[in-house]
Structure 1
Amino acid sequence: MKSLIALSLAAALLSGCTAIMPSRDAAGLKIASWNLEHLAERDGEGCSPRTEVNYAELRRHAEALDADVVAFQEVQSQAAAERVFDPAIYDVVMSTRPPSTRSGECRGRPGLFGDWNRRLASRNDAFLTDLNDGDPQGSTLTLASGDRPAGCKARYREFIDFIATGAGATARVQPGLFEEYLYGGAPEAEHPSDHCPITVRIGR
């Protein structure tokens, strides 16, 4: 059984997520983050209304992603998530934190593992600098994407989705295996979400 995690404002570091389930093989644990752009529970509802054809397309991409753990954002409910992630394959775990009241229901909510909605890799990003103040020891975050450009949107070449690892998890991240999943090379206009999933592998 794979694990699926819904994150909103929950502070989740990879060093805490790797214990959810053991690695399947020597390739390690594949971790993904995916903003599903206002995924609603029923057809024709929400800020990005979809049909069964659209949900089926998302299911195909979830299968192609083949991640052991997926942290997703902008999903209405567990039932919505299970329209994309087969509950016979994934354990779906929803955040119990109350929704934010600072913005409309159609706005995303950032997390330490997922859609931060800011360009953390930009030089001297104030937010990341504040997080990486060295307190407590060993808490410095490393962005799995490094300084590579994003490829999901031609207009935006910097990531706003991140997998950030603490010192312990960073030591286990397998080098060179960060990936941005571009929906099988589909044209940008045909992407089923306005974000592309990102993945890393964590070794044993």
Structure 2
Amino acid sequence: MFRMFSLPALLLALASCASAPASVAPAPEPPLRLASWNLEFLAEKDGDGCAPRAPEDYAAMRRIADGLDADVIAFQEAESPVAAARVFDPARFTIVMEERPGAPGGTCGGKYPQQRVIRQAVGFAIRKGIPFDRHADVTSLMLGNAQLRSGVDITLRPRGQKPIRLLGVHLKSGCFAGSDAKACPVLLEQIPALEAWIDAAARGPDRFAVLGDWNRRLSLPGDSVWREIDDGDPKNADLRLADEGAAPKCDPRYDSFIDHIVLDKRAGEDLLAFTETLYAPGEAHHSDHCPVSVTIAARTPR
């Protein structure tokens, strides 16, 4: 005996037998790319400062900045946000800079004896769309001297990832190794202030990195500055020097980096790559520094 089914009932029965569509796994979060670049007296106006530039120089520097494909670029030696915006496209980046006004004065000497000295300041260019918190500037690095740079302190909060805290720095120039150079008493006095920030961040909940122009060859064997900050106390202050084992190719006169990206234990475990971006063969060096970058694996909240 055959049982008759209505058409709607038949369709419902067929649908119930169909296999459910396979669930699609969410795409993994992309890694973070962090960079640092000393812009060498980047001025607001054409022809100004101790590294006077023409419009085509600013355009070339913007192409380099865009080519880094970085989520965040720590930069040094920019006169102002207006100057920084000539390199970091405001349509792509949010610019934050230290609040220290500085006290520039005098003339440049050297190749440009008639040029005026401009403000040199530290900042970050942060890719639009990435949320971040701005913390108080780390003014302890100034040692009470308006000419010394403060640190810029932010926490990056990429969507779908754990936060990462970033400190941008530019330490005193002239004490690249040892302790005997004229500038060494100043730089070595900045180190305890920097270590205090590192230790406090190491006790905090977020992985972190210190990026910038350290004006110190931290990778030299037995360097006293590296030994002081990389003491593993607290445990996340067991630091990783991203350029360890790499030699710079930006300028053949130098065989050790002074621009560094230093990662705490947590971020160091996520390091995927370190890169130095060079100027094209035959291209003018638009700054006396080349950008350095790291790629860090995404950490998703549990």
Distance 1:96 1:140, change over 3 A: farther
Q: Which residue of 2 aligns with 1:202?
A: 296
Q: Which residue of 1 aligns with 2:53?
A: 50
Tell me, yes or no, if structure 1 residue 86 matches structure 2 residue 89: yes
Q: Tell me, which stretches of 5 or more residues in structure 2 are unaligned?
A: 1-26, 103-141, 150-168, 172-193, 195-209
Q: Which residue of 2 aligns with 1:41?
A: 44
Post-superposition offset of 1:28 = 0.6
Structure 1 residues 172-204: Cα deviation after superposition (integer angstroms, max 9, x where no partner)? 111xx2110002x334x7111100001111111
Q: Which residue of 2 aligns with 1:179?
A: 275
How many pairs were matched up?
A: 175
Q: Which residue of 2 aligns with 1:165?
A: 263
Q: Tell me, which stretches of 5 or more residues in structure 1 are unaligned?
A: 1-23
* Bigger relative contact order, structure 1 or 2 (CA pairs below 8 A, ≥6 apart): 1
- Which of residues 28, 31, 35 in structure 1 aligns to 2:31? 28
- Comparing 109-118 and 47-56, the one that deviates more: 109-118
Pairing of 1:41-120 with structure 2 (within 5 A): 41-97=44-100, 99=102, 100=142, 101=145, 109-110=170-171, 112-120=210-218
| Partner Cα separation in structure 1 for residue 95 and residue 148 of structure 2 | 25
Q: Which residue of 1 aligns with 2:286?
A: 192
State the one-letter code of the partner of 1:28: P
Aligned residue for 2:271, secondary structure, equals coil
Distance 1:71 1:49, change over 3 A: same
State the one-letter code of the partner of 1:160: I
State the one-letter code of the partner of 2:245: D
TM-score by length of 1: 0.78
Post-superposition offset of 1:141 = 1.7
Q: Which residue of 2 aligns with 1:16?
A: none
Distance 1:179 1:37, change over 3 A: same
Aligned residue for 1:164, secondary structure, equals strand
| Partner Cα separation in structure 1 for residue 73 and residue 94 of structure 2 | 10
Aligned residue for 1:63, secondary structure, equals helix
| Partner Cα separation in structure 2 for residue 54 and residue 138 of structure 1 | 41
Q: Which residue of 1 aligns with 2:166?
A: none
Q: Please give the root-mean-square deviation of Cα atoms over the aligned residues, in Å.
A: 2.3
TM-score by length of 2: 0.54
Q: Which residue of 2 aligns with 1:12?
A: none
Aligned residue for 1:134, secondary structure, equals coil
| Partner Cα separation in structure 1 for residue 234 and residue 83 of structure 2 | 37
CA contact (8 A) 2:232 2:238 kept: yes
| Partner Cα separation in structure 2 for residue 157 and residue 165 of structure 1 | 22
Q: Which residue of 1 aligns with 2:154?
A: none
State the one-letter code of the partner of 1:199: S
| Partner Cα separation in structure 2 for residue 109 and residue 47 of structure 1 | 18
Distance 1:199 1:43, change over 3 A: same
Q: Which residue of 2 aligns with 1:123?
A: 221
State the one-letter code of the partner of 1:58: M
